[in-house]
Amino acid sequence: MAHALRLAQRGLGNVWPNPAVGSVLVRDGRIVGRGWTQTGGRPHAERMALDQAGEAARGATAYVTLEPCAHEGRTPPCANALIKAGVARVVTALTDPDPRTAGQGHAMLRAAGIEVTEDVLSAEARHLQRGFLLRVTEARPMVTLKLACSLDGRIATASGESQWITGPAARQHTHLLRLRHDAIMVGGGTARADRPSLNVRGFGPRRQPVRVIVSSGELPDLPPEGEDFGPILRASGPVQDILRDLAAHGITRVLCEGGGGLAAQLLAADLVDDLVIYSAGMVLGGDGAAAVAALGLTGLAQGPRLQFRRAFRVGPDLCQIWSRDGG
Ligand code: AOF
Ligand code: ZN
């Protein structure tokens, strides 16, 4: 299952509105098939693993990071495909909350005499697939807030100079972060001041993330949608409403790259699932622009709190990841 989760990760940012699922087929102690959800969400992970295994799937154990689907899509349900291939046992991490499956995939497998084991590495699977889970159960995507700031949490000097606080390695690392998200969101001020590309470069052909500009004002000229750039969605209003609209579009994972106003709105509404902070070894002082605008806290207890997950060096800078759930 740990290996299936690693495979699932390959689909993050590339498969919305679907979840990024991974699957491993094992027979006689050997891996005979590996699959992960493909670009745009199809083929599903199990289909890919079964195609790879061919006849070797007969009598095998299938590890899947999500309950196999029970609905007829562009191809028959994965539960049927596993039954037809003669798999002996299926091990899953999570029940699929999609109402078209929601336990029926497991039931179909059991009815066909297949041994089913559920909830294996479920915490890890929930963390990896939380964008999809949130979209289906809470009608919002997961949100990652990225900040690149000085040691004292500033993103620009008083005169507005911001390029560059962090080094090239951190900026390259941001592309890895973008790669794993369906949409990149920025405020109008950031879009006008930085003209960010909001695309993914250097990882071969991928689905480009949707560019979401939160502004009711004028938008700068941005490169048109194409091979190197995703569609542009313009949004305004409360962040809760914006996220609900994005989920309705099928978006499961959003990366917010600033500015401070949008960051403050997301934090105040308790909508930040992951906070990624790149800190550069410099100090900009209290007259610089804060990475997070005023929150209007009237007490310490109101300050949003996050759980530490990990930290690592990126070139000369430090990257810290904090999560709402810590899991
Ligand atoms: C699986 N394996 O790899 C994925 C699954 O639009 P469709 O027909 O592709 O179906 C999308 C639904 O299928 C999605 O909401 C989720 O319930 C499931 N995704 N299921 O067995 C996979 N990606
Ligand atoms: Zn399926």
| pLDDT tens figures, 224-238 | 898 889 999 999 999
Same domain membership, residue 229 and residue 308: yes
Calculate the average pLDDT of the chain: 95
In a domain, 120, yes or no: yes
To test the ligand 1 pocket, which listed residue (9, 37, 69, 108) has its Cβ within 8 A of the most ligand atoms? 69
Count up the domains in the chain and report the number.
2
Tell which residue, 116, 87, 111, has the closest CA to residue 25: 87
Same domain membership, residue 303 and residue 216: yes
Ligand nearest to the CA of 37: 1
326 pLDDT more than 80: no
What does the pLDDT average to over 161-188?
94
- Nearest protein Cα to ligand 1, atom 11: 18
To test the ligand 1 pocket, which listed residue (5, 21, 44) has its Cβ within 8 A of the most ligand atoms? 44
Pairing of β 274-280 and β 142-150: parallel
Same domain membership, residue 185 and residue 101: no
What tokens appear for 182 in the block?
């369906």
327 pLDDT more than 60: no
CATH code at position 159? 3.40.430.10
Annotated binding site: 44, 69, 78, 148, 162, 164, 178, 190, 194, 198, 201, 216, 257
Where is the domain boundary, 92, 107, 128? 128
pLDDT at 299: 96
pLDDT at 137: 97
Where is the domain boundary, 95, 128, 161? 128
State how far the Cα of 206 lies from the Cα of 227, in Å rounded to an integer: 9
Annotated binding site for substrate: 162, 178, 198, 201, 257
Is residue 36 a contact partner of residue 18, using CB atoms and an 8 Å limit? no
pLDDT bin (cut points 50, 70, 90) of residue 217 is confident
Ligand 1 neighbours (beta carbon < 6 A):
18-19, 21, 37, 41-42, 44-46, 66, 68-69, 73, 78, 96, 98, 101
Same domain membership, residue 47 and residue 190: no
Annotated binding site for Zn(2+): 44, 69, 78
Ligand nearest to the CA of 137: 1
Cα 246 to ligand 2 centroid, rounded to whole Å: 23
* pTM, full prediction: 0.95
Q: What ipTM was predicted for this assembly?
A: 0.95
pLDDT in tens, 245-298: 999 999 999 999 988 999 999 999 999 999 999 999 999 999 999 999 999 999
Which residue has better confidence, 74 or 299?
A: 299
Same domain membership, residue 160 and residue 32: no
**Token pair 């289906």 in the structure block, residue:** 136
55 pLDDT more than 70: yes
Q: State which ligand 1 atom lies nearest to the alpha carbon of 75.
A: 8
In a domain, 185, yes or no: yes
Same domain membership, residue 155 and residue 211: yes
Same domain membership, residue 164 and residue 122: no
Ligand nearest to the CA of 4: 1
Cα 16 to ligand 2 centroid, rounded to whole Å: 14
Cα 214 to ligand 1 centroid, rounded to whole Å: 30
Same domain membership, residue 90 and residue 208: no
pLDDT at 204: 79
Where is the domain boundary, 128, 152, 174? 128
Same domain membership, residue 299 and residue 159: yes
In a domain, 79, yes or no: yes
What does the pLDDT average to over 308-320?
97
195 pLDDT more than 90: no
Same domain membership, residue 120 and residue 247: no
In a domain, 214, yes or no: yes
In a domain, 134, yes or no: no
CATH code at position 64? 3.40.140.10
In a domain, 133, yes or no: no
- Burial-class residue 174 by CB neighbours within 10 Å (0-12, 13-18, 19+): buried
pLDDT at 121: 98
* Residues annotated as part of the active site: 46
Is residue 82 a contact partner of residue 68, using CB atoms and an 8 Å limit? yes
In a domain, 135, yes or no: no
- Nearest protein Cα to ligand 1, atom 18: 69
What tokens appear for 322 in the block?
């904090």
pLDDT in tens, 58-83: 999 999 999 999 999 888 999 999 99
In a domain, 229, yes or no: yes
pLDDT at 190: 85
Same domain membership, residue 295 and residue 172: yes
User: 3-state SS of the chain: helix, strand, coil percent to 5?
Assistant: 30, 25, 45
pLDDT bin (cut points 50, 70, 90) of residue 29 is very high
Same domain membership, residue 217 and residue 124: no
Domain span holding position 190: 140-323
